[in-house]
Structure 1
Amino acid sequence: MKIITFGTFDMFHIGHLNILERAKELGSSLTVGVSSDALNFNKKSRNPICHERDRMRIVSALKCVDEVFLEESLELKAEYITKFQADCLVMGDDWQGRFDHLSELCKVIYLPRTPAISTTQLIEVVKSER
């Protein structure tokens, strides 16, 4: 089974690794869409700390990841699923229900996030240390 997932993966942390490893366990290959800098700004009203090319390099270096591409739009998920012939979309449960409409194209699974860790939280800790 071919798995696809998406994320910003800014300031890569253990929560990112956990969800990617769990996604890979569900299938034979894992394709990861890394949100572009522009998409991240549209979603979160802030630029990522790390540039998209660096985030893509980090994610592609993981042994659980087979393929990486740049995600340019949330609205293109169906096209990405079709293009990469994914059998299953895996997302964190913070997106619960948001992609259920894609179940016509593939299985949709929401995995629990790693508790007590997030990129936003890390950014706030770094800011407070200044």
Structure 2
Amino acid sequence: MSNGKRILATGVFDLFHVGHLRYLQYARQQGGHLTVAVTPDALCLARKGKQPIIHESQRLEMIQGLGWVDGVRYLPTSLELTQEAADWIGAWHIDQVVVGGDWEGSARWQRLGLALAERGIGVCFAQHTQGISSTEIVARIRQTAPAVLAP
């Protein structure tokens, strides 16, 4: 679907994997202009209590390298800060936010969805890719590291 909608997708995108790719491909299909907001390291640390493995500048560069992403920025605030998030999303002139399917029904997106709807901004959820996540990749590496790193 190539319409004039301005779409926003957000994420950490640490250890970029096929789930990230499918999410961004789905977001791209929703409109004519795709902006991706990459969560900066400090915000990850504050929100999740851990630093991403890949530095924010490299994660941003990887997303920029996807030829079908029109703009990449750092996420200015946590999406938990409902009014602040709705304000900057509106200021970016976004028509629709695409969210990973694992967030559907969450309290965060119930609150933020209502705040965005008041501004005429839609929210839709991409299908979650089962069996893959950065957290699962890290766990798998930790589990297999001795065998993988053995001489």
TM range (shorter): over 0.9
- Contact kept? 1:40, 1:46, Cα under 8 Å: yes
| CA–CA separation in structure 2 for the residues paired with 1:38 and 1:24 | 27
- Contact kept? 1:20, 1:64, Cα under 8 Å: no
* 1:8-87 alignment, distance < 5 Å: 8-74=12-78, 75=81, 76-87=84-95
Q: Kindly state the Cα deviation for residue 110 of structure 1 after the two structures are TM-superposed.
A: 1.3
Aligned-partner residue type, residue 135 of structure 2: T
Q: Which runs of 5+ in 1 are unaligned?
A: none
- Secondary structure of 2:72's counterpart equals strand
Q: Kindly state the Cα deviation for residue 87 of structure 1 after the two structures are TM-superposed.
A: 0.4
| CA–CA separation in structure 2 for the residues paired with 1:64 and 1:123 | 28
Residue range with higher mean Cα deviation, 89-98 or 14-23: 89-98
- Give the structure with the higher percent strand: 1
How many equivalent residue pairs?
A: 130
Cα deviation per residue 1:27-59 (whole Å; 9 max; x = unaligned)? Answer: 001001100101111222110000000000001
- Secondary structure of 1:40's counterpart equals helix
The reply on whether 1:112 has 2:120 as its aligned counterpart is no
Q: What percentage of aligned pairs have identical amino acids?
A: 34
After the TM superposition, list the runs of 4 or more consecutive aligned residues in structure 1 that deviate by more than 2 angstroms.
none
Q: TM-score, normalised by structure 1?
A: 0.93
Residue range with higher mean Cα deviation, 36-45 or 11-20: 36-45
Bigger RCO (CA 8 Å, 6+ sep): 1
Cα deviation per residue 1:62-89 (whole Å; 9 max; x = unaligned)? Answer: 0221100011312242133222211001
2:149 matched residue in structure 1: none
CA RMSD in angstroms comes to 1.2
